[in-house]
């Protein structure tokens, strides 16, 4: 497609993307009309006359966003002028173009914000205060405009404002586990956004709105396809299609990454091997990278899953992760590209505790990866469980950039029918102390690179986005996308603050709605932990689809795929002993952390059964036996969902009937499934404990045999068999 033709299509898409949309489609960018007359007057005064620097496509989309946002919120078309004059109330321009009269007010600020940061500041000029949005680069202007619109949208005062902000993490990425046939592994919001059959000539307006949403929260990278990769994405036919998406994303500061199948030289290159030390294989990757940059000059690089869950990798040829990652990094290095090498590895041939395997495999290679390699580590050592202790690798590789991998989609969290506010989970992990350089060595400081002065840093989130009208299946799942972006920008933010931001931008700033709904969101993740895996229980989901409970599953071909591997329930007790008397996984943590985890008396009870196999009569801190305490936790989770339903009922007057009914129906599903989890798990574990349910726990209405008989062959999000 010619450049002129594409630009025409692109800007037609921008215009259409702001048209009438179904409820929920606009995410946190609804830009609802402001109702308070005093606020409207104040914002109108500040936006009476606007100078907006022109030029690049990024500045054009920033100006379009401001025009649309102000018109929708203030009810008038903003007045933009083409040159700076004394009457301006708002100036938007890069720092190098600021008027001489005000530039001194910004010199120190501009030195702090780097390439992507921005400044929003009220300064005196010509005997009045003017509002200035400035940055060192175009993308900073775009981020600044989105932040300014958010401040207006949420009713915040701009009088005397001085906001200087910049991202703490370099690569802020969404990982799409989308397949080329448009199914989505662990996707619960419809099919893949990427319509490969219609690309390149059809640019869906949703691609633009997707880019807008990501830019509004600072996400600057996206991998388009599943980490269980298909080599076809690297062929010219698909690279043309990827190029079309990359051109849409580029004005919004988003780089495209591709998942690279390690065996691609054989599958699409005609070679007999994919050995990373083979000269022909190295040449193939060098040539392929050069070809990709010919299509996509701002290509980000490769995301690689290798030698994990059946995926090919360097170990197939007697090589190691360094050999594989550095081979690709060498090919990408001349173009400024990166390799993101996933550390999610475990083997059925390794008798070691699965929780230990990634650490054992990667930590010995610390310092051996090239400078443009990041090792992407899941937040916990097993697999996106409702609660896990932080991954020990975050405290053990000071010479290697470790990229955090969170899951935004809800694979082990009830899918998109359960309301689960995940920034609470993200915050819990990021604030965990690794003690790598003494107290205060948090995971956040490891990830943002500040602990060891890393040159590059990254955070990835496995996307929960699909073709559903509201993008994420559950309206409140939008908050997880939003919250991930905010924490990737600044991992020190609180999930409480983020929840309030999202509620006000998405629904209303009425405190009668904000206060109870924020409380509901903040408690929601704990509710799910309680009714799925209290006290450190983990990975007890039904097989394959991970929909619903399956603690009884023990017939799968690989031991570490079976729930019985993780809970180890028997007549003596329950839990996985990872102390020195068991697998000794605690030895992978710093001594200060291991000492806490090793003793059941000091181990936080939320991790108790993660690290300890304890008797059914073990006394918890509240005086309850382990059996009674576990059963009461399951009941507490159900009770918490019932409280969520009541809370949602109380805010009905503050939202539309459609908004109310959708969430109300989903909460009913969540309650039904919370009871299913409670009853199935307690009936199963009761076969070992031989104890009655304590008072306060509702008796199951079905038998254990009934729950074991349930089958869900078409549950959404299952990994395709051809991978």
CA–CA gap between residue 544 and residue 412 (Å, rounded): 11
Q: How many CB atoms lie within 10 A of CB 198?
A: 12
* Model pLDDT, residue 48: 87
Annotated catalytic residue: which of 109, 323, 383, 542?
383
* Model pLDDT, residue 128: 85
Q: Homologous superfamily of 171-506 in CATH?
A: Glycosidases (3.20.20.80)
600, 612 in Cβ contact below 8 A?
A: yes
Which residues does 623 contact at the CB level (< 8 Å), separation at least 6? none
517, 651 in Cβ contact below 8 A?
A: yes
Question: Is there a catalytic annotation at residue 500?
Answer: no
Spell out the domain ranges in the chain. 31-165, 171-506, 530-576+613-709
Both tokens assigned to 388:
């896990």
Question: Is there a catalytic annotation at residue 411?
Answer: yes
* Model pLDDT, residue 86: 73
Annotated catalytic residue: which of 309, 510, 606, 662?
309
At residue 662, the 3 state secondary structure works out as helix
Annotated catalytic residue: which of 178, 209, 323, 411?
411
Fold of 530-576+613-709: Alpha-d-glucuronidase, C-terminal Domain (3.90.1330)
**Regions in the chain scoring below 70 on pLDDT:** 1-21, 720-723
222, 249 in Cβ contact below 8 A?
A: yes
Q: Which CATH number fits domain 31-165: 3.40.50.720, 3.30.379.10, 3.40.50.410, 3.40.50.150?
A: 3.30.379.10
At residue 428, the 3 state secondary structure works out as helix
Which residues does 530 contact at the CB level (< 8 Å), separation at least 6? 633, 634, 636, 637, 640
CA–CA gap between residue 30 and residue 47 (Å, rounded): 19
Helix orientation angle between 478-489 and 495-506, rounded to the nearest 10 degrees:
130
> Sign of the CA dihedral 32, 33, 37, 42?
positive
Question: Is there a catalytic annotation at residue 275?
Answer: no
If phi over 0 gives left and psi between -120 and 50 gives alpha, with beta otherwise, what is residue 432? beta
Residue 683 Cα distances to 352, 576, 704, 708, angstroms? 30, 20, 6, 11
Stated pTM of the model:
0.96
Q: What is the DSSP string of 329-387?
A: HHHHGGGT-EEEEE-----TT--S-HHHHHHHHHGGGTT-S-TTEEEEEESBSSSS-SS
């Amino acid at each position: 497609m010619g450049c002129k033709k594409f630009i025409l299509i692109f800007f037609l898409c921008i215009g259409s993307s702001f048209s009438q949309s179904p409820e929920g489609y606009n995410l946190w960018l609804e830009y609802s009309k402001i109702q308070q007359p005093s606020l409207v007057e104040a914002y109108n005064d500040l936006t009476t006359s606007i100078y907006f620097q022109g030029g690049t496509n990024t500045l054009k989309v920033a100006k379009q966003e401001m025009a649309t946002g102000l018109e929708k919120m203030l009810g008038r078309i903003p007045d933009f002028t083409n040159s700076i004059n004394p009457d301006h109330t708002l100036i938007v321009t890069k720092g190098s173009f600021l008027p001489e009269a005000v530039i001194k007010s910004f010199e120190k600020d501009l030195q702090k914000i780097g390439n992507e940061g921005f400044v929003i500041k009220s300064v005196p000029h010509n005997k009045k205060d003017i509002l200035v949005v400035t940055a060192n680069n175009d993308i900073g202007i775009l981020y600044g405009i989105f932040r300014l619109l958010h401040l207006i949208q949420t009713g915040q005062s701009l009088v005397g404002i001085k906001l200087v902000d910049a991202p703490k993490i370099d690569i802020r990425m969404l990982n799409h586990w989308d397949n080329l046939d448009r199914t989505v592994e662990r996707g619960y919001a419809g099919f893949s956004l990427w319509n490969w059959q219609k690309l390149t000539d059809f640019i869906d307006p949703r691609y633009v709105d997707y880019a807008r949403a990501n830019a509004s929260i600072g996400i600057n990278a996206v991998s388009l396809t599943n980490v269980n990769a298909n080599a076809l994405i690297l062929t010219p036919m698909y690279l043309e299609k990827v190029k079309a998406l990359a051109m849409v994303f580029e004005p919004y500061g988003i780089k495209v990454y591709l998942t690279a199948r390690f065996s691609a030289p054989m599958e699409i290159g005609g070679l007999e091997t994919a050995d990373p030390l083979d000269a022909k294989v190295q040449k193939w990757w060098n040539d392929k990278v050069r070809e990709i940059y010919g299509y996509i000059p701002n290509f980000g690089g490769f995301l690689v899953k290798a030698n994990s869950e059946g995926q090919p990798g360097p170990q197939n040829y007697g090589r190691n992760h360094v050999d594989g990652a550095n081979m690709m990094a060498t090919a990408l290095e001349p173009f400024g590209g990166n390799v993101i090498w996933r550390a999610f590895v475990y083997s059925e041939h390794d008798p070691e505790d699965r929780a230990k395997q990634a650490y054992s495999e990667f930590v010995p290679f610390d310092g051996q990866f090239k400078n443009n390699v990041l090792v992407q580590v899941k937040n916990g050592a097993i697999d996106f469980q409702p609660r896990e202790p932080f991954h020990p690798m975050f405290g053990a590789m000071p010479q290697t950039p470790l990229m955090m991998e969170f899951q935004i989609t809800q694979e082990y969290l009830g899918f998109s029918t359960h309301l689960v506010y995940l920034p609470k989970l993200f915050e819990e992990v990021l604030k965990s102390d690794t003690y790598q350089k003494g107290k205060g060595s948090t995971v956040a400081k490891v990830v943002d690179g500040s602990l060891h002065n890393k040159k590059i840093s990254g955070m990835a989130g496995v996307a929960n986005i699909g073709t559903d009208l509201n993008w994420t299946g559950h309206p409140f799942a939008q908050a997880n996308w939003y919250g991930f972006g905010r924490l990737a920008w600044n991992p020190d933010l609180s999930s409480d603050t983020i929840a309030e931001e999202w509620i006000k931008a998405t629904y209303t700033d009425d405190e009668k709605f904000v206060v109870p709904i924020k409380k509901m969101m903040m408690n929601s993740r704990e509710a799910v932990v309680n009714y799925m895996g209290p006290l450190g229980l983990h990975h007890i989901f039904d097989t394959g689809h991970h929909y619903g409970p399956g603690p009884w599953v023990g017939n799968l071909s690989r031991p570490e795929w079976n729930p019985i591997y993780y809970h180890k329930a028997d007549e003596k007790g329950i839990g996985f002993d990872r102390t020195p008397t068991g697998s000794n996984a605690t030895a992978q943590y710093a001594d200060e952390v291991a000492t806490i985890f090793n003793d059941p008396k000091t181990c936080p009870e939320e991790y108790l059964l993660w690290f300890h196999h304890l008797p059914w009569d073990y006394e918890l801190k509240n005086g309850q036996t382990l059996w009674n305490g576990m059963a009461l936790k399951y009941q507490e989770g159900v009770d918490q969902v019932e409280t969520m339903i009541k809370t949602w009922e109380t805010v009905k007057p503050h939202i539309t009937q459609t908004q109310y009914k959708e969430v109300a129906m989903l909460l009913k599903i969540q309650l039904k499934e919370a009871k299913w989890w409670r009853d199935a798990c307690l009936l199963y574990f009761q076969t070992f404990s031989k104890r009655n349910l304590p008072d306060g726990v509702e008796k199951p209405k079905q038998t254990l045999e009934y729950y074991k008989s349930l089958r869900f062959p078409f549950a959404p999000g299952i990994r395709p068999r051809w991978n």
